[in-house]
Amino acid sequence: MHISEGVLSPAVLAGGAVLTVVGTAIGLRKIDYEAIPRVAILSAAFFVASLIHVPVGPVGLHLVLNGLMGLLLGWMAVPAILIALFLQALLFQFGGLTVLGVNTVTMAAPAVLCFYTYRGLLRHPGTPAAIGAFACGFTAVLLSGLLVALALITTGQAFLEVAQLVLLAHIPIMIIEGIITLFIYLFLQKVRPEMLEGIYA
């Protein structure tokens, strides 16, 4: 779901950069020594999952895992996603440095929002937690698609059709991400419940 360079207006790029700086500052303040390995592992998982993508217009379709990152990291997902996107832009020219702020916002903001939206469900074992985990993965990708579409439309009405294509193309990914997030949540609940401690904080 990377937006390519040379597509967005300067105003949208500046807004994304400012929001990313603010979100990263908040996320860094919440990272303690014990959280560093969790943040690093999830940033690496995000980096790898995003490498395999199919270009569709000015964006690329791929697994995002931002719902999972939001579920496990909360605000800490912002710097984790920023680092992964920076390395992708630097090493593989995915997205780009000028759109780094916007790309971070489109993926990290839904992660943080889903963390706070579904944390109540995830605190209750059984069916509510399963629903919350699936919804976290599904909704995060949905919101990311909406934010990408909004960034494109804000730049110019010429991107309206591309924005619609972005949303439609990501529907299967929303379902897949929901299932992946659900299974990983259930797995961690059994073998590494300490990874879920942020939900109960």
The half-sphere exposure of 12 on its side-chain side, counting CA atoms within 13 A, is 23
pLDDT category, 59, cuts 50, 70, 90? low
pLDDT category, 93, cuts 50, 70, 90? confident
Over the stretch 129-155, which tens digit does the pLDDT of each residue have? 999 999 999 999 999 988 988 888 887
Examine the pLDDT at 16 and tell me if it is beyond 90: yes
**Mean per-residue pLDDT, 50-64:** 66
Report pLDDT for 55.
Answer: 61
Average model confidence (pLDDT) for the chain?
87
Examine the pLDDT at 111 and tell me if it is beyond 80: yes
Examine the pLDDT at 60 and tell me if it is beyond 70: no
Q: Please report the domains of the chain, with CATH numbers, ordered by start residue.
A: 10-200 (1.10.1760.20)
Report pLDDT for 61.
Answer: 66
Nearest 5 degrees, angle CA 79-CA 82-CA 88? 145
pLDDT over 90 percentage in the chain: 48
Nearest CA-CA partner of 74 in 98, 46, 49, 38 = 38
Entry pTM: 0.88
CB of 126 closer than 8 Å to CB of 20: no
Examine the pLDDT at 82 and tell me if it is beyond 70: yes
